[in-house]
Amino acid sequence: MNNHYENHACGSFEHFSRRSILRLAGLSGLSWLTPLATTLARDAESKQTPHAKSVIVLWLEGAPSQLETFDPHPGTEIAAGSIARKTNVDGILLGEGFEQTAEQMDSISLIRALTSKEGDHNRAIYNIKTGFRPDPTLVHPAIGSMICHQLNEEADAKVDIPRHVSILPGQAPGRGGYLGDAYDAFKILDPQNPVPDVKARVEQHRQLKRLDDLRVIDNEFLRGRQNNRVVQGSMGNHNLDAALQMMSSEQIKAFDVSSVPKAERLQFGDTPFGRGCLAAVRLIETGVRCVEVTLDGWDTHANNHELQAGRIDILDPALASLIKELKKRDLLDSTIVVCGGEFGRTPWVNPVGGRDHWPHGFSIAIAGGGIQGGRVVGASSPNPKRDANAEDRIKELQNSHPVEDVHATIYDALGIDYEQELDTPVGRPMQICKGKPIIELF
């Protein structure tokens, strides 16, 4: 055992966090971690470890190429001419074009050997957004929905705007699933424009009359459906009152970046995605729990290098400025930032210069919320075999993790008991997450 773990072992039990104990058990093959020890460790951690409070997801829809973004292999056959650049952390390379992000690498870590069993866009998006594979009998909640459900604390009562927000929503913005529609993401487009439909279109007396009529309709619809949790979650006066509260709240200004000085806006890039990232910071500062900002266009079956470079030009200033702005506002320690797509792209370039779908080892970037920066977890092969099957693909990776481990990592950092079971509306118990935290990140 190295000195770091020896120092932990020398203290009393109160100095152990659950994460520390699990790390020790994993490194030394210990079998003494009883349920009682796990419970005591979780209790100790909850009393001593400051948890993250919120999450920002930079969603790269269409699946970015790991070889041009977070896992370059310059000089190899699979690079196909792609080059890399150094970062401010020795030994960590990023793809060409990440000039600004490279200077923030000491605050960012990379998971380079993620695996998924889904190679179709729609199924893979569902998988990575919920932590579960599609199930025809159940709709699982997106991670942002689950976070809002689990972190429904006293401070949230002071937030008048939705706690789960999707900016520039792609084809699958976060859904509440079996938690109910009340946990769906609130969707907005380019935040340089006002949030639509938040001002009454008629005079106040007519507005009040319309609201009274709407309540009558809602109450009639709910009659006899009091035990239907799905209906209760998506209908009723609670949602109406929440909408009215949002319409009259000063907090709604957090959506509008037009009031931000131009120089500050331009640091994020003069793009809808850049403005979305700036709005995400403002929303998190206001008390929103989860914000997803989508940058699509990564599905590069042809002309991969040029198309990836165009997306990176938009992503780089936005990601780097997001990290810097969270630091500036003292929010990075309490905010987890995740950046990635539904899977990666093939190590080989096809005849039309594209890379195809590749769920057998791809990358995401993660930062903040107690996660250490400047680290790399896992490694992909610089020379994968072309004719290997899916099982052998995983064997080619070093320290690989399934996508649900990312969910467990985020939940653990937020202080959410990811192993607990929730009852679905039909009484079916569902574990929040079936992954395990990636302990190397802590």
The CATH number that applies at residue 317 is 3.40.720.10
Give residue 267's pLDDT.
98
User: pLDDT of 204-243, one tens digit each?
Assistant: 667 667 666 777 877 777 776 656 655 555 544 556 666 7
**Domain limits at 134?**
53-194+256-441
Looking at the structure, tell me whether residues 320 and 342 fall in a common domain: yes
pLDDT > 70 in the chain, percent? 80
Q: What is the pLDDT of residue 26?
A: 46
- Tell me the average pLDDT across 80-86: 97
Considering the domain architecture, whether residues 398 and 433 belong to the same structural domain is answered as yes
User: Left, alpha or beta for 328 (phi > 0: left; psi -120 to 50: alpha)?
Assistant: alpha
Please, which pLDDT band fits residue 22 given cuts at 50, 70 and 90?
low
> Is residue 142 domain-shared with residue 283, that is, in the same domain?
yes
336 and 236 fall within a common domain:
no
312: left (phi over 0), alpha (psi -120 to 50) or beta: alpha
| 7 lies in the same domain as 150 | no
Entry pTM? 0.85
Q: Are residues 229 and 172 in the same domain?
A: no
State the pLDDT at residue 195.
84
pLDDT score recorded for residue 218: 72
Region 305-323: what's the mean pLDDT?
A: 98
The larger pLDDT score, comparing residue 418 to residue 215, is at: 418
- Give residue-wise pLDDT tens across range 142-181: 999 999 999 988 888 889 999 999 999 988 999 999 999 9
pLDDT reported for residue 6 = 36
Residue 248: the pLDDT is 66
- In whole numbers, what is the pLDDT of the chain averaged over residues? 87
More confident position, 295 or 243: 295
Q: Both 72 and 207 in a single domain?
A: no
315 shares a domain with 207: no
**pLDDT of amino acid 206:** 73
Q: How many domains is the chain built from?
A: 3
Name the burial class of residue 209, with classes exposed (0-12), middle (13-18) and buried (19+) by CB atoms within 10 angstroms of its CB: exposed
Query: How many angstroms separate the CA atoms of 29 and 355, rounded?
Result: 40
> Lowest mean pLDDT: which of 193-197, 231-235, 329-333?
231-235
Task: For residue 385, give both structure tokens.
Answer: 């075999």
As to burial, measured by CB atoms within 10 angstroms (0-12 exposed, 13-18 middle, 19+ buried), residue 119 is middle
Predicted confidence band of residue 43 (pLDDT cuts 50, 70, 90): low
